[in-house]
Amino acid sequence: MKKMLLVLVLGAGLLSGALLFAASNAQEKTAYDEDAYGPKAPIVWVKPVRSVIFEHKIHTMDAGLDCGSCHDSLFEMENGAAEKKDDFTMATLYKGGYCGSCHDGSAAFASNTRCTSCHIGARGHARLNSQGGTAVKSH
Amino acid sequence: MNNLLAGILPQSGGLEASGSGKYTLAMGVLALLSVLGVAAGVHSLIAGHEHTFGVSRGVPWGILIAAYVFFVVTSTGLCIVSSVGHVFGFENFNPIAKRAVFLSIATIVAGFLVIAFEIENSWRMPVGNVIGANLTSNIWWMGTLYGAYLFFMMIEFVMLQKEQHKAATGFGLAGLLTGVAAHSNLGAVFGLLNGREFWHGPYMPIYFITSAAMSGCVAIIFFTIIAYKANGWKMSEGMKKSMESVAKMGALMMAIIIFFTCWKMISGVTGNPPGKYETIMTLLTGSYALNFWVGEVLLGMVIPFAIILVVRGRNINALFVAALAGMVGIFVMRYDLVIVGQLVPSYHGMGLVDYPELLSYAPTLHEYLVVLGGVAFCGLFFLMGEKLFRGHVAEHS
Amino acid sequence: MKIDDLEKTTSEDLGVLPSVVRRNILKLGLVVTGMYLGGSILSLTSVRNVYGAGVVPEVGKYPYNPHYSMVIREKLCIDCEQCKEACVKTNHVPAYGFRTTILEKRRSLGGEKFETTFMPVLCNHCNRPPCVRVCPTTATWKDEKTGIVTMNPGRCIGCKTCMTACPYNARYFKEETRAVDKCDFCFESRLSKGQTTTACVEACPADVRVFGNLADPKSRVFKLVHAPETMIWVLRPETGAIPNIYYINS
């Protein structure tokens, strides 16, 4: 009788553990799928100024944009491509170029507001690097 | 010169120091440590504090300032204790007076030695202090007055040796006044900094003077007993009485310091005054709690106070333990006062990210060596004094 | 009480409150607004008057001419740190020191979100500079003409009292000159050579830092600190140092 009970308890424990494990795995899946939403690692530009961050997750998964709204009309699918161009500046953004095509105050918040949501600065960049340069947690 | 020295050095009478090997050994060790300290200090000046000291932009004052404060507090205290008998005529304090005057010189010189290495360009001081004199600067007053103080104390000592008591009393009084003025200015160096909440206010100058009196009592007991034990001298009745009186005065000062400290802590915690609260909590429960509770409270206040009360200032061995604990405790008090007062960073409480709540400081080997050198130098001075001046035996005892 | 009456009352001006009270008010202001706003409590009623009597001196009452000051349009700062680099280059600042730096504030927007504000800091060239008062050898002083707090390295004995006295952590000991070093609004490196701005102002791509003569009504700094509907604050007003770096919210 006692043995039965022990087996029962152990079994229940194992089962719930397995379930939890599966659930957490599943959650991680729905949490982020690079194929569907673009690369997970944030893109950080340091030119012309340190440092601006772009996160696919905010735009694709959270805001529901599809790849086509940016690729390849506004941005190439290549990390750092925009950075090489001379017109990658606020002036272009204000005129509706690059991020500014949406960040104009109607589709998304305007580029001349909330500077620090795109500009993480040298401090933010250093912090990203010290976290291993992969996951950016909050935002 | 020889005539002058002959006039000062007692040729006979008094107590003869045992010129044994032990004495030579002690002198040798102390001299070695002093030289080591000076070497470390000189090296730090050449290499720069940036590379040799633990001080930083946020905590620019380290253990050397603490040691300096310790020495000058003790010196001022010894001057106060010496003048109780000398200047104010309390007979019981006469037997210790000469030694106290001598040691007040020894300690302040040791203090100057230490601070010479803390001030990165001390050689610019003599000229700068004169052509650039800044009368609103407490540190200027402190330096200048301590200079005058040293001068007065030396003259007083010479006059004492020459048995010119009127002159000695006059210079003693001058020394006492400049000492107290200098010392309260040292308190004001800290107390008048509006941006440093832990220090800011009239508390510092008042506290400094009181703790000087306490340190003076502790120090004279400490050194007198060492002198007598090490040389195997027998204490006269007058000296025993004197020890008792000094101990009782010391206990009174400790009581006042305990009282001050209680209110300092209570006022720093009540209502969480910004800047001050963080510092007080660092002492009470934070990273300096060990220093505070064991160093300051137990060694510096409770143990010596309790011992003196229990033996009523009469048991010499017990008094020595009390004085030893007191000396260590007082050093910790100075250390905490200087360091902890700087730990709250300038822009605290503004919701900053990656900005320390509290800064930190730890002395480096260089700093320890310089401090040790200062202590050794003071010890050297003391031993030499005992021998040269034959136990500093006072005129009427 | 009408606004007019209120403007006549002076007793609640920051200057007359004891420092503890001021600090508490400031702290409350900090809680309410998330910033250190001098007089934020009274700003609910009469902004102009309070600031006029508060952190910004009244028009015509500037002790110096030129009265050099800097206005920091804080929310535009993106921490690109080009100001720091320019300062280092222009004034030969060693790697272990800085004359100006950028701090980072964070305010919760509820939930997981927060807002970052970068806060440039430098010497405030205070009207009542604590560092100048404590210097035993007058190695540092406030220039009588420009109000710039300057150093004479050859006179500095290295006691570092000015460093403990400065409420803004604006000073450091420079081993190369064996003296304390600090921002002098680029007086030595630029202004004295005829240039009109500091290196950091010139380098700033976002127009955060504005430098000029506060005593000149035509200057941009004057216009900024006397503009209507502007929040102006200084750092650590409770120390009584009367700083000349103004932070504005527009």
Average pLDDT over residues C17-28: 52
Q: Which of C108, C138, C171 is the mutation pick for testing B, counting most B CBs within 10 A?
A: C138
In the numeric block, which tokens belong to residue C131? Answer: 């560092």
Say what the pLDDT of residue B23 is.
Answer: 83
Say how far apart CA B386 and CA B26 lie, in whole Å. 13
Collapsed DSSP state (helix, strand, coil) of residue C24: helix
**Rounded to an integer, what distance in angstroms lies between the CA atom of residue C138 and that of residue B285?**
40
CB contact (8 A) between residue C79 and residue A50: yes
Q: How far is Cα B105 from Cα B72, in angstroms, rounded to an integer?
A: 10
Cα C125 from chain centre: 7
Q: Which one, of C211, C202, C124, lies nearest residue C170 by Cα?
A: C124
Using the Cβ of B237 and the Cβ atoms of chain C, whether some distance falls under 8 Å is answered with no
Q: Whose CA is closest to C48, among C96, C4, C1, C92?
A: C4
Q: Is pLDDT of C41 > 80?
A: no
CATH classification for the domain delimited by C14-248, as one of 3.30.70.20, 3.30.9.10, 3.90.1150.10, 3.40.640.10: 3.30.70.20
Q: Is the separation of the CB atoms in B44 and B52 below 8 Å?
A: yes
Residue B195 at interface with chain C, using a CB cutoff of 8 Å: yes
The pLDDT value recorded for residue C12 is 45
Tokens of B129: 């202090």
In degrees, to the nearest 5, what angle opens at C-alpha B372 toward C-alphas B368 and B375? 145
Task: In whole angstroms, give the CA distance from residue C78 to residue B269.
Answer: 38
CB-CB under 8 Å, C104 with A138 = no
pLDDT at C214 over 70: yes
For residue C213, give the DSSP letter.
E
- Write the CATH number of the domain with boundaries A34-130: 3.90.10.10
**pLDDT-wise least confident of B2-6, C36-40, C57-61:** C36-40
**Helix, strand or coil for residue C184?**
coil
Closest by CA to C167, choosing from C25, C36, C13, C34, is C36
A-facing residues of C in 40-99 (CB < 8 A) are: 75-82
Cβ distance C113 to A138 less than 8 Å, yes or no, reads yes
- Interface check for B134 against chain C (CB to CB < 8 A): the answer is yes
Contact C115 A114 (CB under 8 A): yes
Query: Chain C partners of B139 at a C-beta cutoff of 8 Å?
Result: 134, 136, 159, 161
- What pLDDT, on a 0 to 100 scale, did the predictor assign at position A88? 93
Q: What is the residue-level pLDDT of chain A in tens, covering all 139 positions?
A: 455 555 555 555 555 555 555 555 544 445 678 888 888 889 999 989 989 999 999 999 888 898 989 988 899 888 888 989 889 999 999 999 899 999 999 889 999 999 999 999 999 999 998 875 444 433 3
Domain boundary assignment for chain C: 14-248
What is the distance, to the nearest Å, from the Cα of residue B386 to the centroid of all Cα atoms in its chain?
Answer: 20
Q: CB C136 to CB B350 under 8 A? A: no
* pLDDT tens over chain B, length 397 residues: 456 666 667 766 667 766 677 888 999 999 999 999 999 999 999 998 888 999 999 999 999 999 999 999 999 999 999 999 878 888 889 899 899 999 999 999 999 999 999 998 888 888 888 888 999 999 999 999 999 999 999 999 999 888 888 898 999 999 999 999 999 999 999 999 988 999 999 999 999 999 999 999 999 999 999 999 888 888 899 999 999 999 999 999 999 999 999 999 999 999 999 889 999 999 999 999 999 999 999 999 999 999 999 999 889 999 999 999 999 999 999 999 999 999 999 999 888 999 999 999 999 999 999 999 999 999 999 999 988 887 787 654 4
The full set of domain ranges for chain A reads 1-30, 34-130
- Which chains share 3+ C-beta pairs under 8 angstroms with A? B, C
| Encoded tokens for B260 | 């001050």
Quote the pLDDT of residue A43. 93
Strand ranges for A14-95 from DSSP E: 43-45, 52-54
Beta-carbon neighbour count of residue B13 at 10 Å?
A: 9
Residues forming a β-bridge with B338: none
Short-list C187, C198, C190, C195, CA closest to C147: C187
Partner-chain contact A123 C104, CB within 8 Å: yes
Name the residue among C161, C173, C240 with its Cβ closest to that of B49. Answer: C173
**Angle of helix B94-118 versus helix B138-161 axis, rounded to 10:** 140
Q: How would CATH label the architecture of B15-347+356-391?
A: Up-down Bundle (1.20)
- Per-domain boundaries in chain B: 15-347+356-391
- Inter-chain contacts counted by CB atoms under 8 A, chains A and B: 3
Closest-CA residue of B relative to A123 is B354
Q: Give helix then strand counts, H and E, for chain C.
A: 8, 10
User: Residue C52: pLDDT above 50?
Assistant: no
- The predicted pLDDT at position C45 comes to 34
Instruction: Report how far Cα C74 is from the mean position of its chain's Cα atoms.
Output: 12
C49 has pLDDT over 50: no
Cα gap C110→C91, rounded to integer Å: 42
Share of chain C above pLDDT 70, in %: 79
User: Which is it for strands C140-142 and C114-121: parallel, antiparallel or unpaired?
Assistant: unpaired
Shortest distance between the Cα of B193 and any Cα of chain C, in A, equals: 6
Query: Mean pLDDT, to the nearest integer, of C169-174?
Result: 95
Question: What is the pLDDT, as a whole number, of residue C15?
Answer: 45
**In B, which residues are within 8 Å of C19 by CB distance?**
194
Mutate to test the interface with C, among B192, B353, B354 (most CBs of C within 10 A): B353
Residue with tokens 């130098």: B377
Asked if A47 is an interface residue toward chain B (Cβ–Cβ < 8 A), one would say no
Interface of A with C in 89-128 (CB under 8 A): 114-117, 119-124
Q: Which residue of C has its CA nearest to B65?
A: C159
pLDDT given at position B130: 86
Contact residues on chain B for A123, CB-CB shorter than 8 A = 353-354
CB atoms within 10 A of CB B323: 27
- Name residues whose C-beta falls within 8 Å of residue B24's C-beta, 6 or more positions apart in sequence: none
User: Which residues 44-63 of chain A have a CB within 8 Å of chain C?
Assistant: 48-51
Q: Which residues of A touch C112 (CB under 8 A)?
A: 138-139
Give chain B as a 3 state SS string: CHHHHHHHCCCCCCCCCCCCHHHHHHHHHHHHHHHHHHHHHHHHHHHCHHHHCCCCCCCCCCHHHHHHHHHHHHHHHHHHHHHHHHCCCCHHHHHHHHHHHHHHHHHHHHHHHHHHHHCCCHHHHHHHHHHCCCCCCHHHHHHHHHHHHHHHHHHHHHHHHCCCHHHHHHHHHHHHHHHHHHHHHHHHHHHCCCCCCCCCCCHHHHHHHHHHHHHHHHHHHHHHHHHHHHHCCCCCHHHHHHHHHHHHHHHHHHHHHHHHHHHHHHHHHCCCCCCHHHHHHHHHCCCCHHHHHHHHHHHHHHHHHHHHHHHCCCCHHHHHHHHHHHHHHHHHHHHHHHHHCCCCCCCCCCCECCCCCCCCCCCCHHHHHHHHHHHHHHHHHHHHHHHHCHHHCCCCC
Nearest in space to C105 (alpha carbons), one of B324, B349, B203, B5: B349
Q: Which chain A residues are closer than 8 Å to B354 by Cβ? A: 123, 127
H or E stretch at C70: strand C68-73
- What is the model's pLDDT at position B175? 94
Name the residue with tokens 């400290």: B261
Distance CA C69, CA C183 (A): 12
Q: How many CB atoms lie within 10 A of CB C109?
A: 9
pLDDT greater at residue C76 or residue A33: C76
Q: What is the ipTM of this complex?
A: 0.89
A122 and chain B in contact, CB less than 8 A? no
pLDDT band at residue C111 under the 50/70/90 scheme: confident
Measured in angstroms, the CA of B262 and the nearest CA of chain C are apart by 20
Q: pLDDT value at position A134? A: 46
Q: C79: burial class by Cβ within 10 Å (0-12, 13-18, 19+)?
A: buried
In a mutational test of the B interface, the residue from C21, C31, C159 whose CB has the highest number of chain B CBs within 10 Å is C159
Radius of gyration of chain C from Cα atoms?
18
| C9 CA: distance to closest CA in chain B (Å) | 27
- Contact assignment for B132 to C139 by CB distance below 8 Å: yes
Q: For residues C29 and B134, which has the higher predicted lDDT (pLDDT)?
A: B134
- CA atoms of B306 and B321, how far apart (whole Å): 11
Residue B350 to chain A, least CA–CA distance (Å) = 17
Encoding tokens for residue B378? 């003071």
Q: How confident is the model at residue C44 (pLDDT cuts 50, 70, 90)?
A: very low
Q: CB of B61 within 8 A of CB of C160?
A: yes
Q: For residue B317, which amino acid is it?
A: N
pLDDT surpassing 50 at residue C183? yes
Residues of A in contact with B353 (CB under 8 A): 123
Q: Which residues of A touch C81 (CB under 8 A)?
A: 50, 121-122
Q: Is A12 helix (H, G, I), strand (E, B) or coil?
A: helix
